[in-house]
Chain A
Amino acid sequence: MRIARFVARRLLQLVPVLLGVVVATFVLVRVLPGDPIRTILGPNATEAEAAAARARFGLDQPLWKQFLDYLGGLLTGDLGTSIQSGNAVAGELALRVGPTLQLVVLAVAVAVLIAVVGGIWSARRADRAADHGIRVLALIGNSVPEFWLGLVLVLVGYSMLGWFPAPSGRVDPDTNLTPITGAELIDAALTANGPAFTSALAHLALPVATLAIVVVAPLLRSVRASALEVLHSEAYTAAAAHGLRDRLLRRGYLVRSALVRLPSLAALVFGTAIGSTVLIEYVYSWQGFGQWALRGLLYRDFPVVQASVLLIAVCYVLVFLIADVVHAILDPRVKI
């Protein structure tokens, strides 16, 4: 009940935050140089035709009117019409957000798992060769550009070894997967389409590995540092001196305490991962949210940019909310 009240309070606090994001995005995207209308008209279009196109997208209205229309649309779930494609932005967003979230959530989950297991394992072997090895690997993972890493994994995993499918899409189209959520793994599970599930898993392997390698380093270092702190703490030393069993020591004293910082950091990493998908989606022909948002920005497709920034903001605040709740569960000292 206490947590439910906390969540409700935090969700209410989101309203002004998101309103700020809406206003800032609306203004900033229009301050940027660049004319979205001219990017969609043919070379022979006259000023009259450009004016007609502006009217079609409501860009001939005063700025305050455009903003009120946008705000009104938001309240009814209408995110506007893409200037580039002429499609409803909400529909385009729904098609692309599933694949990207699937990629990011899986990658962050894999990264968290590796960080927890590797970080604690490494801390328990501090300053030994295995520990140094883990730290060097983390450093390398943190240093390589995701674009380069992706290409290398494609070269090795697909081209040289032939273990993974060609980097052209998210599932083999011949499996006739019926899209429901846009996240192929979930859709395949929901429709009990075994071949599609296996194919989606195969297509996910390399991009998830790339993203997980890129984001795992800070998580791993954080868990290792926390675990070392716990291992050096008086409480842990006392518990160990009392002859508690190893499993109890690890689960009751080490793991829980070492993970206290992890939720907040994982939330931050989640944001980084969403940013990294722009390049990873390009390398793996993923056609998800990242490429869509980038194209929207490059062509000043106002409704697309507004919707994508708003979605990222919503993701951020929700992920931090979840992180705070998990933090509170892990650390009884935290009052919510």
Chain B
Amino acid sequence: MAGTSPRGGSAPPALSRRSVLQLGGIGAFLFATGACASGSGTDGSDDASPGASADTLRIAVSSYLSSWDQDFVGFDPVALMLYKNVFPYMIDYGVTEVDGSRILDTENVMATFAESFEPNADQTVWTLKLRQGVTFASGNEMTAADVKWSKDRAFAAQANVAGIYRTIGLTEPDQVTVVDDYTVQFTQAFPSALTRQIQAISLYVFDSEEAKKHATDADPWAAEWFANNAPTGGYFNVERAVQGQEIVLAANEQYPGPDPAQTKTIRISVVPAAANQRLQLEAGDIDVALGIGQRDIADLKNTDGVKVISAASNEQVAIQMSVTTAPFDNVDVRKALAHAVPYDQIINNVYGGDARPTKSLVPLDMPGYDERGYPYGYDPDAARAALAAAGVDQISSELVYATDNDTQQQIAVLVQSEARKVGIELELVPLDPATLAERRQQKNIPLQITAGQLWVNDVEYMLATSFVEGANLNYSNYVNPELEEIYERSHTVVDPAERNELWLRVQEILAADVPWVILCQPNFNLPVREAVSGWVQPMDGLARLRYLSASA
């Protein structure tokens, strides 16, 4: 073993210079580590668990927003939620109470930053009157010119707002006119019962004077500037935004309307991993966790200092079948799958019982919902009989779901297992977001799990987005001539009773054609520290932080 043992010409002294250096290094390391720990006082658990202070709420979200520009942003739930709180929206939903939960009232759209928003007699011309003296953070007053500039910009963007405005007959910038400094008129091509709800989504306003300072010939709408600079004038102003880490919101003390912000400061930190959000909530480093999954929520229900707010949600989970693709182009095969799906098992095993079964493709709580809309339940014998009626005893298909969605994966596995028992063999295919978006656009997915909520709580909007020819969420390629007629008629029907008659017929048609297997409506669960109160369940999925309070 020559050479493997240390040897030297002389024995080292008991405490050599090297030893002193080594000891010094270790000491320095320990000091540095201690410094690190103590220096992290505001974060570390020692003194970082004071609970919510009355003035400050700390909220964790899963990602930093991709852009501050609402007109050009992609689908980004965190960004859209923040916009709802920092852009001045002229009108918004009121609040109502259902089964002990406070929820946004989609049947009561009220003026907030605006003074009023009312139609003429035939409901084609809507007049928006602004409050006087409302200012942006720059000090510029919010006027009709800002509304006009903002809507012109939205039409020019040809993206989010322009798309949704079409459903109420607004397609050109010329349909938005300035009457005076505080009055704007929207002239629609036809009257629509959806106008208030569509405008609740779309009537956000930019500080146009400030924007014009940053516009260039190449960028007339100051898109580059808005992508990086937060809007102002909403319920909250953005006090600080540290890219990728934290956004600090300060209550807008100048807000003149109802329901001002209840908490002075909201600190929104970015914590992508749900497990970390859970740890920080338990430690009291955050007060509200907006990105925790079902499994962690179930555990948190028994954690000291934490409570889980549960509220009825309008999110629908469904399996869409392509009615133009074999084997689901046969209505009996679609009925077979509708009978093969283990609805109760999904609600109990995937959602821990925290979901509502539903009996219509029209969401629960939507005006016009009728239980006759989906007469199917788990019944393997009926499923086999339906397959026999279709003239087959064995079929196969792919079942597509989003690759990063654990819940959808669990549903897919359960459905695959039960469907196999009746002769329906499903291959599970997880797809990444871009591939999923492309295949959905090409409408070539025979069977896919979908989950989402309608931003407008109305069957006409549901038809527009999901069940008429060309509708973008109509992944089923479903077309029914009678449904198309009803949809056309509904544009100009504004009487609620008359609309409900139309919706009943819609549900009868959908029950017969069964383009979707409707699984359930999971409840919304929000884990918070015990001191947090005031949550209002948003029916569009975008939290209104102004209602949240840091004291019970």
Contacts and interface: CB of A to CB of B under 8 A. Distances in A.
A154 interface: yes
Contact of A53 (B60, B159, B243): B159
B279 A159 contact: yes
Interface in A198-238: 198-199, 201-203, 205, 231-233, 236-237
A124 B7 CA distance: 11
A7 to B, nearest CB: 34
A161 to B, nearest CB: 8
Interface residues of A, number: 79
A34 B243 CA distance: 28
A39 interface: yes
B32 to A, nearest CB: 7
B44 A86 contact: no
B318 interface: no
Contacts of B134: none
Given A35-B434, A40-B74, A168-B269, A247 B8 contact: yes
A237 B3 contact: yes
Contact of B6 (A41, A52, A124, A282): A124
Nearest to A160: B45
A175 to B, nearest CB: 9
A247 B244 CA distance: 49
A54 to B, nearest CB: 11
Given A42-B164, A154-B279, A162 B35 contact: no
B37 A168 contact: no
Interface stretch (B103-111, B144-152, B185-193, B435-443): B435-443
A44 interface: yes
A126 B35 CA distance: 37
Given A39-B74, A167-B271, A168-B271, A205 B36 contact: yes
A101 to B, nearest CB: 15
Contacts of A36: 434
Contact of B433 (A39, A169, A203, A249): A39
B434 A84 contact: no
A169 B246 contact: yes
B272 A291 contact: yes
Contact of A38 (B3, B7, B438, B465): B438
B302 interface: no
B39 A198 contact: yes
A33 interface: yes
B464 interface: yes
B285 A166 contact: yes
Contacts of B72: 86
Contact of A44 (B36, B163, B438): B163
Nearest to B162: A49
B175 interface: no
A4 interface: no
Contact of B158 (A34, A48, A96, A285): A48
Contacts of B45: 158-159, 162, 166
Interface string B41-54: 01111101000000
A240 interface: yes
Interface stretch (B221-229, B379-387, B489-497, B540-548): B221-229
B138 interface: no
A208 B25 CA distance: 19
Contacts of A198: 35-36, 39-40
B272 A202 contact: no
A85 B66 contact: yes
A243 B9 CA distance: 7
A164 interface: yes
B2 A237 contact: yes
A15 interface: no
B242 interface: yes
A88 B163 contact: no
Contacts of B438: 33-35, 38
A16 interface: no
Interface in A161-212: 162-174, 179, 195, 198-199, 201-203, 205
A288 B66 CA distance: 14
B272 A85 contact: no
A95 interface: yes
Interface string B87-130: 00000000000000000000000000000000000000000000
Given A170-B245, A173-B246, A287-B270, A46 B163 contact: yes
Interface string B10-53: 10000000000000000000001101110110111110100000
Interface in A87-104: 87-88, 95-96, 99
A287 B244 contact: yes
Contacts of A35: 434, 437-438, 441
20 contacts: A33-B434, A34-B433, A34-B437, A35-B441, A36-B434, A42-B163, A44-B163, A85-B74, A163-B36, A164-B37, A166-B279, A168-B43, A168-B246, A168-B270, A169-B269, A172-B40, A202-B43, A237-B3, A285-B273, A299-B433
Interface of A: 32-36, 38-46, 48-49, 52-53, 83-88, 95-96, 99, 123-126, 151, 154-155, 158-159, 162-174, 179, 195, 198-199, 201-203, 205, 231-233, 236-237, 240, 243-247, 249, 282-283, 285-288, 291, 298-300
Q: Which 7 residue pairs of A and B lie closest in terms of their CB atoms, listed nearest first?
A: A287-B244, A34-B434, A246-B8, A165-B43, A40-B74, A198-B39, A162-B45
